[in-house]
Amino acid sequence: MVVVGVVLIVLALTVVVVAPRVLTRAAWTIDRPRTALVSWSAAVLVGVAGFVAGITLVVVAGRPATDPFAVRGSPAHGLNVGVALVAVVAFVIAVRVRPGPEQDAVRRAMHSGATPHREIGGVPVALVEADHALACAVPGRAGGVLVSTGLADQLRTDELEAVVAHERAHLSQHHGIAVAVAESIERAVPWVPGARAMARSTRVLVEFAADDAAARRLGRDAVRRAVLVADGTSALGVVRASRLEG
Ligand SMILES: [Zn+2]
């Protein structure tokens, strides 16, 4: 059992080390962002589950089924169990997912009585009075889609619907969770290059995946025009627009 446990731990660590390398360097992720996001979520799940299962096997190895943790048995084994538990708790605390403070600010803005809501492409959207171009999606029951008047005023109807469809895709495909998990891992082990690359590529992949979802509803051209108006000056905006060409 100890051997199986050690093998599981090694396999889990291999998955965690290899997955970011494969996923952040492969060109196909640009064309299939959704597949890439699902693959890396699966890799993280497999890695964490394998790690926990491996530690458990090593800890309970050779113990009778009636008292697998043998807490009443040898003090040395009790210590092992304690160390394993502390390691798992430390891991959970280190990578725990926290919503950003900016999400609270957006939620407050959406629910203040002064913010008008408008139906855009069948979706109730909070229209916030602001000069700069802004669109975002906040997950959860108190969440939704928010667009600034500065952006809405610059867009044609189909472009505005494309922006809303893009933000809706972030919500329905749970991109917030993928980004939060990747950023939590990055915070927990910032010295691991794969963790930084993973977080960076997750932030990009969710934008590609949301663009693709919007393009399926409104067409690639409407989404491309909307991206150029909303985000045409950033490097990511330029890449997003060129992905949608043709
Ligand atoms: Zn987006």
Cα 59 to averaged position of ligand 1 atoms, centre (Å): 44
Burial class (CB in 10 A: 0-12, 13-18, 19+), 129: exposed
Mean pLDDT (whole number) for 110-122 = 82
Cα 91 to averaged position of ligand 1 atoms, centre (Å): 30
Cα 137 to averaged position of ligand 1 atoms, centre (Å): 8
User: Which residues have C-beta under 5 Å from ligand 1, the single-atom ion?
Assistant: 207, 210
Measure the CA–CA gap between 47 and 35, rounded to whole angstroms.
Answer: 18
Kindly indicate the confidence band of residue 193, based on its pLDDT and cuts at 50, 70 and 90. Answer: confident
pLDDT confidence of residue 151: 94
Mean pLDDT (whole number) for 5-26 = 77
Query: At residue 131, what are phi and psi to the nearest 5 degrees?
Result: -75, -35
Mean pLDDT (whole number) for 61-83 = 64
pLDDT confidence of residue 221: 97
Only one residue has tokens 């409104």, namely 218
